[in-house]
Structure 1
Amino acid sequence: MVDPRIAKFRSDADSVLAHLKTEYSKLQTGRANAALVEHIMIDAYGQKQDLRSIAGISVDQRSIVVQPWDRSVLGAIEKAIQLADLGASPINDGVAIRITLPSMTEERRKHLQKVVHQLAEEARVSLRKHRQVVHDAIKPEKDEDVKETLNQELQKGVDEYNGKIGEMAKKKEEEIMKV
């Protein structure tokens, strides 16, 4: 049976990985990706809404097409996309907005590589914080053998999740550097 403290750590670590995956999906790679724009907040109907709730988003190799369900918000969508700093200008044709993503420069690739490393490090820091919380919960344990076993299990989990973070970072880096 798994100790509830270790189970909590694994649950928290899974959340860290899910968050990292979400953050990585927002980074531009060589291909167009709906995740680049779907979370952009749009001023529409007197409130802020994310783009995916007011428009259909379709993607091909190099471009993203945003087709709002109500054409009256085209201007607001275009403005929000311009402010999102995607490195591409949106083109409003009166029916939809087309965003053609330029090829990434070597400088942009290197910058994104740094962002990937930074996000991975933030995930590792979060993992260490979760480990510390569980470690503090294990400290009051009276039985030294149980305490040692739990600490070893905890460290094994930390190593496993650090490995997963490293794999995710390496995979994303390869996507970014692929020309």
Structure 2
Amino acid sequence: MTAPEPGTDGQSVRPRMAQHYSVAPEPDAPEGYVAPGMPGAPVAGYDPAPDPAEPSAGRRRRRRRRRTGLAVAVSATAMLVGALAYGAALSRVQSSIGWLAIALAAAVAWPLGRIGGQNRTLPPLGALLSATGLLLGQLLGQTLRLHRLEGTPYGELLGDALRIWRADRHPVDLAFYGIALIGGFLLTRRTASTD
């Protein structure tokens, strides 16, 4: 019996049969791949020697701690500047502009989240700083308004401004403080960077 004629590509048309190798064929895997369990495969739980160019975990933690302090300092500065701007705007307007509490919360929360990272203490601190900035802005606005009306020195007006601020509170002001608290908390969490 004769073998079938080869096909047009020069190979046999006969179905492939099992082939026996004395050496295993090369697997179809990417270069450098080592199957689990084979010699040269990484062992689970083994940490290789640290690269001198890479910062160690301890240095990373210290740097993160330093960045948290920087974030709090920048955010406190933003709170004071925001309170000054809010107080100056409030002294010029007769009606309440408490809706600007969200802008004050954003000014405080952005540096906390971006610089401080994902630290669990930063969102509550962002809420506290936002509400404090709103309070300071309202007190400053009352003081500036009284100074313009009466012309007395600022030091003497602070007590009067505090009394007027207490007497002039409306239920809507509680909503503005709620906006500052919730906005400061959520915006700090949203802007938190992972690095």
The structure richer in strand per residue is 1
Give the TM-score normalised by structure 1: 0.33
Choose 1 or 2 for highest CA Rg: 2
* TM-score, length basis structure 2: 0.31
